[in-house]
Every structure is written in C-alpha cells, then in structure tokens.
Amino acid sequence: MTLKTALVTGITGQDGSYLAELLLKKDYVVHGIVRRASTFNTHRIDHLYHDPHEPDARLFLHYGDLTDGTRIAALLEQVQPDEVYHLAAQSHVRVSFDEPEFTGDTTGLGTIRLLEAIRATGLSCRFYQASSSEMFGATPPPQNESTPFHPRSPYGAAKVYAYWVTRNYREAYGLYAVNGILFNHESPRRGPTFVTRKVAMAAAQIKAGLQEVIHLGNLDARRDWGYAAEYVEAMWLMLQQDKPDDYVIATGASHSVRDFVDQCFSHVGLDWRDHVRFDERYLRPSEVDDLVGDAAKAERVLGWRPRVRAPELARLMVDAELTALSHTRATAVGAPAASPVLELARP
C-alpha cells in the first residue's frame, strides 16, 4: 500500500504539532519545513521525531523559510506531496503592527510563493491555507463564509491577500486549494505571548507563589475560543472532499478576555482582580472587538463540530501549567522565579 505524503509548513508551531500527530496516526509520511534558528525550535514535535535512518521513520524535517521561494519550489519537487498544509506565518497580531512589512512578506506573500511553486512544478497536490477570523476584523458577528472582510491589522490584511490568492489559484488553474477560516484556537502548546496561554501560565505561577501580578491590555475584546487539537481535524477533512471549498471553523460562542481571565484564576481559587494590572503596551492601534463564528457549513458538509468550549479550555490549560510546574519542581531544587523582565517583554 502506498502511504499518502503531506508537506506541512509551520510544523514547529501549535497547529503544526497537532496536525503532524494526526497525520502520523493516519499513516501519512509527513515532511515538515523548519526555519533555521540559533536555538532549538522543535520542542513541540520532539516527541514525534525518530531517527530518519530507521526503516519505519515517517516524519522528515527540512530547513526552509517562507521568504525563500526557490527553496520552497525545490522542496516541493523533492517531496512530491499529495497534500500541502500551509500553516507557517508571522501569526501575532500585535507584532504585525511593529513588523508590518515582514508580516506582509511571510504571512501574505509566503502563500503565493507556495501556490506559484505548485503551479510551476505541475504538482497535482491539494493545498490548505490557514486563513483567519482576523480577516473579518470590524465586521459585526456572527461571521460565516459569506461575511465581508474588514481587517484591522497588517496581519489581518496579509491573511486577506493570502485568502484571495488561494481562491484565485483554484479558479484560474483548477488547483484543489481551500481556505480554512479558523477562529481562535488554543491549547497548552499555544505560544506564551497569546493571551490565553499568558493568562493560564500566570494563574499557575501565581498560585505556586512564583509570581504576583500579570500585566494585560484590553479585557473587553471578545473571542470565539476553541481547542486546537480539534481544529486540525477540520483542516484534514477539508482536503478529503470531492470539491475544494472554504470553511469557517469555530465554536459559535464568544467570551471576553476578562471572562477567560476569571475562568483561569477561579480554577485555582484566586480572585483575578488581586493580580491583574493594566499595561497600555498590550493595546493594539486598532482592535478586533468581537468574533463569533458560524460553523454550520463545516458541520453540514464535513461533519465537524467542536467539543471543548472556552470554560473547559481555560481549565485544561491551567491544569497543564500546574502539571508542568510540578515536574519542574520535582526535577530542579528551587524552580526559577518568573522573570519580571521577560513578562514585560512579552508582546
């Protein structure tokens, strides 16, 4: 039996790690693109990696960067994937205001570099684009596949560009190319500068007496938060259909940042008001106030529906932090206190 081959960009990120797990469980051969860094950036997938010399190895990693179109084309030629999951991006909204040009280059142009490489090499692979609810921006909820875009950040604008070139390559060249318009999804593997993980880590650290306060920005923003491990199942389903199409993936419920903070702190028996301080550096020049996704089409066509909701997500994320802290304490005599410099440096 010939195994299917997938190429995953952004395999070292939150979603890339869950997707790689899912694909390996489904007996795929998985190739991941990793950008070169001076420190190791593969901690989220280290548990999946085996020596590539072993005969049954099915996960292979390659250096590559979204800004390097020649390398991307060469990797596509080499790997000959059946499915390409394009997850890599500069994915932080606040940072996109500081680095708008870099964000446009990676998050926007990165997508067309891949699409153009697929077209030029004549590969008949299927292509998944990691589109985002940030594209809806200022358009009032609920948001579905027909809702107009009104991005509120360089990140959101770059994702709108990537969304449209994905549709364009589908219409112009007949590529099986889809947009998964995913609303916020979180997990214990979420990057520590996104608000859910930052808060979950702080609640655990404060409970353990390692930290006293956390600095946050806008507590009024509302998000539709789901669980990342479930959202990667939807990505895979989108590439298994007869026809390519675009889908919103969401839970259909929104909560304020304040609600999420309350859920994390109450889970460890703390009152968040005693520990949360405001810092304007975490505000954005323009904010997305309210996102609530309508994923009815995904349920109808893909049979996908969310299981974990925000309150449970908050609890599972805090529990994961408490477990990690207890492991640190068991292995190190005197776990290091949280650095106030690091905490402040987080965007």
Please say which residue, 49 or 347, places its beta carbon nearer to ligand G4F.
347
Applying CB under 6 A, does 91 fall inside the site for ligand NAP? Answer: yes
Distance CA 57, CA 50 (A): 6
Which are the contacts of 282, defined by CB distance < 8 A and separation ≥ 6?
94, 215, 216, 217, 218, 347
Phi, psi dihedrals of residue 13, rounded to the nearest 5°: -85, 180
Please say which residue, 83 or 134, places its beta carbon nearer to ligand G4F.
134
Dihedral sign, CA of 268, 192, 307, 31? negative
Q: What is the DSSP string of 223-256?
A: E--EEHHHHHHHHHHHTTSSS---EEE--S--EE
Interface segment toward ligand G4F; rule CB under 6 A; list 19-27, 68-76, 193-201, 329-337: 193-201
Applying CB under 6 A, does 218 fall inside the site for ligand G4F? Answer: yes
Q: Note the residue count of the chain.
A: 347
What ranges in the chain are assigned the alpha helix state H? 14-25, 69-79, 93-98, 100-103, 110-121, 154-173, 195-207, 228-238, 257-267, 296-297, 310-331, 340-345
Please say which residue, 5 or 205, places its beta carbon nearer to ligand G4F.
205
Applying CB under 6 A, does 195 fall inside the site for ligand G4F? Answer: yes
Min dist CB 18 to ligand NAP, Å, is 8
Contacts (CB under 6 A) with ligand NAP, residues 287-346? none
Interface segment toward ligand G4F; rule CB under 6 A; list 113-121, 165-173, 189-197, 201-209: 189-197
Contact 180, 129 (CB under 8 A): yes
Write each residue from 221 to 240 as x if it is in contact with ligand G4F (CB under 6 A), else as -, in one continuous string: x-x-----------------
User: Is 132 one of the annotated active-site residues of the chain?
Assistant: yes
User: Is 146 one of the annotated active-site residues of the chain?
Assistant: no
Min dist CB 324 to ligand G4F, Å, is 20
Write each residue from 60 to 79 as x if it is in contact with ligand G4F (CB under 6 A), else as -, in one continuous string: --------------------
User: Is 247 one of the annotated active-site residues of the chain?
Assistant: no
Number of H helices, E strands in the chain: 12, 13
Min dist CB 287 to ligand G4F, Å, is 6
Contacts (CB under 6 A) with ligand G4F, residues 74-103? 91, 93-94
Rounded (to 5) percent helix, strand, coil in the chain: 45, 15, 40
Applying CB under 6 A, does 66 fall inside the site for ligand NAP? Answer: yes
Query: Which residue carries 């974990």 as its tokens?
Result: 308
Contact 296, 258 (CB under 8 A): no
Task: Indicate the SS3 state at residue 143.
Answer: strand
**Residue 66 binds which one of ligand G4F, ligand NAP, none, with CB within 5 to 8 A depending on kind?**
ligand NAP
Of 21, 134, 186, 343, catalytic: 134
Applying CB under 6 A, does 193 fall inside the site for ligand G4F? Answer: yes
Write each residue from 27 to 56 as x if it is in contact with ligand NAP (CB under 6 A), else as -, in one continuous string: --------x-x---x---------------
Applying CB under 6 A, does 65 fall inside the site for ligand NAP? Answer: yes
Applying CB under 6 A, does 256 fall inside the site for ligand G4F? Answer: no
Among 7, 8, 15, 135, binds ligand NAP (CB under 6 A): 15
Of 18, 28, 128, 155, catalytic: 155
Tokens, residue 187: 């997990």
CA–CA distances in Å: residue 313 to residues 76, 130, 145, 297: 36, 22, 25, 24
Nearest Cα to Cα of residue 274 among 212, 331, 181: 212
Write out the catalytic residue numbers: 132, 134, 155
Chain positions contacting ligand G4F, by CB under 6 A: 91, 93-94, 132-134, 183-184, 193-195, 198, 216-218, 221, 223, 257, 282, 284, 287, 291
